[in-house]
Homo-oligomer: A and B are copies of this chain.
């Protein structure tokens, strides 16, 4: 499948706009663990994920992290091109969580098309609304949900993404996803283990009881 199939408003572009994008588009392959975009650096451009997995997160001055959302196949990343809108006044970091293939549209090219095309501007609006909704969901989790429920949700999400109950993940990594501390996560996971929900081993968390994790998450 080529770029046209991945970009939802391709058919609403005129010939000149299609040419502009085709000529400036670049394909890139990144290894798992690569930092693709770093808030303090320049405008990377719009990222369209062909295959793989990206994680968008914020970072505190002390190096604490919290995951805002993930991007999968066919997802478009807007915040890596935050310079296209002057009102985006925050910085995120984006890393490849798996080996990832992506296309990059230069920010100034996208911006010039968005300025003149209502369909592209409205598509961009929907993208932003989607990420805004992700962050609002996260805010509600942080504000109203206790950490045991958030850890349960995270483990369930991971087993679903990875398609296995054996998660190769450290307590540190879980803490970074949830904006917590390693020690706190370790204590919670040990409690889950005592309750028979998971089994812990070196750099691995095995989910034993999905049903009860789901019940805990909803309670």
Interface residues of A (CB under 8 A from B): 58, 60-62, 64, 66, 85-90, 114-118, 121-122, 124-133, 135-140, 142-144, 179
Residues of B within 8 A of A131 (CB): 132
| A122 nearest CB neighbor, chain B only | B121
Query: How far in angstroms is the closest Cβ of chain B from A204?
Result: 28
Determine how many copies of this chain the complex contains: 2
Residues of B within 8 A of A128 (CB): 125, 128-129, 132
Query: How far in angstroms is the closest Cβ of chain B from A176?
Result: 12
Decide if A125 touches B132 in the complex (CB within 8 Å). no
The 9 closest A-B pairs by CB, nearest first: A121-B121, A87-B129, A90-B136, A89-B133, A60-B144, A87-B130, A118-B118, A87-B126, A132-B132
| A144 nearest CB neighbor, chain B only | B60
**Given A90-B140, A128-B132, A142-B143, 4 more contacts at CB 8 Å?**
A58-B136, A60-B143, A89-B137, A114-B122
Residues of B within 8 A of A127 (CB): 87
Among A64, A87, A126, which residue has the most Cβ atoms of chain B within 10 A? Answer: A87
Asked if A66 meets B126 with Cβ closer than 8 Å, knowing A116-B118, A133-B89, the reply is: no
Residues of B within 8 A of A88 (CB): 129, 132-133
Decide if B118 touches A66 in the complex (CB within 8 Å). no
Decide if A179 touches B137 in the complex (CB within 8 Å). no
Complex Cα gap A117–B126 (Å): 15
Complex Cα gap A86–B88 (Å): 21
Decide if A58 touches B132 in the complex (CB within 8 Å). no
Decide if A86 touches B126 in the complex (CB within 8 Å). yes
| A135 nearest CB neighbor, chain B only | B135
